[in-house]
Amino acid sequence: MIAEFGHFALVLAFCLALVQVGAPLFGLARTQPRINELAAPAALTQFLCVALAFAALTISFAVSDFSVSLVANNSHTDKPLIYKISGVWGNHEGSMLLWVLILSGFGAAVAYGARRLPEALKVRTLVVMGAVGAVFLAFVLFTSNPFLRLDPAPFQGAGLNPILQDPALALHPPLLYVGYVGLSVAFAFAVAALWLGEVDAAWARFVRPWILVSWSALTIGIALGSWWAYYELGWGGWWFWDPVENASLMPWLIATALLHSAIVTERREGLKAWTVLLAMAAFAFSLLGTFLVRSGVLTSVHAFANDPARGVFILAILAVTVGGSFALFAWRAPLLKSGAVFAPVSREAALLWNNLFLTVATATVLIGTLYPLVLEALTGELISVGPPYFNTTVLPLAVPLLLAVPFGPLLAWKRGDLLAASRNLITVTGMTIAVMVIAYTFMGAHEGFAFLGIGLGAWLFMGAVKDLYERLQLARIPLAKSVKRALGLPRAAYGTALAHAGLGLLVVGVASAGSLRADRVEALAPGQSLAIAGYEVRLETTGSYEGPNYWSVYGDFSVLTAGRVIDRVRAERRSYPTEAQGTSEVGLHASLWGDLYVVLGEQQADGVSWAVTAAIHPFVRWIWFGAGLMTLGGLLSLSDGRFRVGAPRRARKKPGGAAASEGPA
């Protein structure tokens, strides 16, 4: 009965989504505001129903109810409980239910938390979110029902893909979905603004928290996926420009542009039409990623489904959403006139420069991702567009963008002084050159341009520090006054500095791990060792053991420097009998300066020795430290009281003619 209860809850949620759309439309057409008020309770109740449906599916997985087809195909009684639960979204149907849960949750958050929002904008926003929710609920109910029964029920389940049985993969999809689906809120506000024909600072102030939530979730979600690929797949890489990886990168790039564009709209009421367009494009790229993963056009470790019928449904959603919203934009955008005027050298111009390079980079990734698919569909020819294309097209676009980042916060609004900003960065420039010289000295010319990438990362990090230094006027005013300024500085200022500093650490990690990696492969018997980059890796013993739902063969290694043991690591080869698949569990000696990465390969023909791969990944962890710092910066900005859920209201006139503000500053 639990599965039937969940199915009924989904049907009820679909009906409530239709009410959320239909009732306000009727109320707006008949100018009956009381009917419009049905949108908020419909959104809240819809979320409750979807949450009950998701709970029902989770219980079915937890108790191994194999009469539910989805459980039988994606679970097993021997699986640890955490992977039974994560198995709920480790498949197409369950992941779409999670998508709908998050979507309805955002709708409920808007309905509950937008009490300060002007009623006309709130109602229209809920209508748009209700329409998106109704479409995806229909998709789940009619093409991807997670509650289908099996009769007779099998005695045992088929299990879950072993590479998904990992803590990082338990969190990676939900975080990405929060990012993807969170962009639907920005989309809904953009469409509602076009509907009303009005975008102002209050609108931008209200939208920014939702963008921050999405951007932060996408940042940490992508980082977790990268970390999982690094230590789980056994190849030592953290990014491969896989089409589905690109599908998560493109919404992140557009969301980054949107976040910066919304600042201009909020502070100067500029770039209004551009901000609205980016909000719609960000959600469109989220839908594109959904199509790529679930249409069957890709074969990837990330892909959930291979059903063309589902792909056609999502393609129709994408076409209607993109076509309809962009048509509305073409019709109503002329109403969004911007009165802001700014000089070519100003903070607005710097943010526009940011947007230009981010959107061009997104277009470049889009072309490289879709071109092979389009060519195959038209001609049947199979080609591969891989890292060489993306490295030679995207990276040159990233360099001027990153070089400009420290200048932005130092420029004034409307009209800036580039010479003064450059003077402020003289110390940063000198320190950056010093870092590059040190890096070049240790690496040498044979390492290519890694030292330039390290210098670029140092430029970003120290530029962020300089931004805070200037804001606090350290060493210019008494320390007590600097402390007072620090306490009064908005959290968003600290968040921006943290995000830019984290980006600098990430760039250092990317440049180092991508260019300075060293590998060595040897056949080792117990007691034998190999040498790499000042380390000695000695195979001590091998053995095997039985895990909860797998069989493991392992090798225990000692890591030595100068003849002294500094660490012991274990590398494994796991075999999952139920799924008839295997995984590699690497041994890692981790440090701030780099990882020693050990992989146990196949047993050799002599029956004694094993193929062992050892690799050095300099500064690789700085990639994830940087991403974590960027996420922390986003969350810190989100906590800023100025961006609390609720837009500032317009000033109203007091009886004497003076204006009184009704909202937060």
Looking at residue 68, the DSSP 8-state letter turns out to be B
Q: Could you tell me if residue 252 is left (phi over 0), alpha (psi between -120 and 50 degrees) or otherwise beta? A: alpha
Residue 132, class by beta-carbon neighbours within 10 Å (0-12 exposed, 13-18 middle, 19+ buried)? Answer: buried
Question: Cα 172 vs. chain centroid, distance in angstroms?
Answer: 9
Per residue in 222-261, pLDDT (tens digit) is 999 999 989 887 777 889 898 889 999 999 999 999 999 9
**Comparing 340-344, 558-562, 600-604, which segment has the lowest mean pLDDT?**
340-344
The position carrying tokens 């639990």 is 2
Provide the angle, in degrees to the nearest 10, between the axes of the packed helices 308-332 and 167-196.
30
Tell me, what's the pLDDT at 654? 45
**Comparing 23-27, 533-537, 547-551, 653-657, which segment has the lowest mean pLDDT?**
653-657
What percentage of the chain exceeds 70 in pLDDT?
93
CA atoms within 13 A on the CB side of 514: 21
- Rounded to whole angstroms, what are the CA distances from 146 to 6, 11, 94, 176? 9, 12, 6, 21
Specify whether the CB–CB gap between 540 and 558 falls below 8 A.
yes
Per residue in 44-58, pLDDT (tens digit) is 999 999 999 999 999
* Number of Cβ atoms within 10 Å of the Cβ of 195: 18
Q: For the whole model, what pTM was predicted?
A: 0.92
Tell me, what's the pLDDT at 444? 66
Quick check: 665 pLDDT over 50?
no
Tokens of 532: 């790499």
Query: Region 550-573: what's the mean pLDDT?
Result: 95
Per residue in 628-660, pLDDT (tens digit) is 999 999 999 999 876 654 444 444 444 444 333
Specify whether the CB–CB gap between 162 and 583 falls below 8 A.
yes
Specify whether the CB–CB gap between 24 and 36 falls below 8 A.
yes
The amino acid present at 576, given as its one-letter code, is: Y
Query: Region 166-170: what's the mean pLDDT?
Result: 83
User: What does the alpha-carbon distance between residue 351 and residue 413 come to, in Å, rounded to a whole number?
Assistant: 11
Tell me, what's the pLDDT at 301? 47
Please give the residue that has the higher pLDDT: either 653 or 475: 475
User: What does the alpha-carbon distance between residue 570 and residue 211 come to, in Å, rounded to a whole number?
Assistant: 42
Query: Region 402-416: what's the mean pLDDT?
Result: 93
Looking at residue 406, the DSSP 8-state letter turns out to be G
Tokens of 549: 């739902």
Tell me, what's the pLDDT at 299? 52
Quick check: 125 pLDDT over 50?
yes
Quick check: 459 pLDDT over 60?
yes
What percentage of the chain exceeds 90 in pLDDT?
67
Specify whether the CB–CB gap between 262 and 275 falls below 8 A.
yes
Query: Region 129-144: what's the mean pLDDT?
Result: 95
The amino acid present at 252, given as its one-letter code, is: W
Q: Domain-by-domain residue ranges, the chain? A: 1-161, 166-294+321-414, 425-516+622-637, 518-618
User: What does the alpha-carbon distance between residue 204 and residue 263 come to, in Å, rounded to a whole number?
Assistant: 8
The amino acid present at 571, given as its one-letter code, is: A
In degrees and rounded to multiples of 5, residue 528 shows phi and psi of -95, 160
Quick check: 208 pLDDT over 70?
yes
Instruction: Measure the CA angle with vertex 257, ends 472 and 467; round to 5°.
Output: 15
Which residues does residue 561 pair with via DSSP β-bridges, in sequence order? 564
CA atoms within 13 A on the CB side of 463: 29
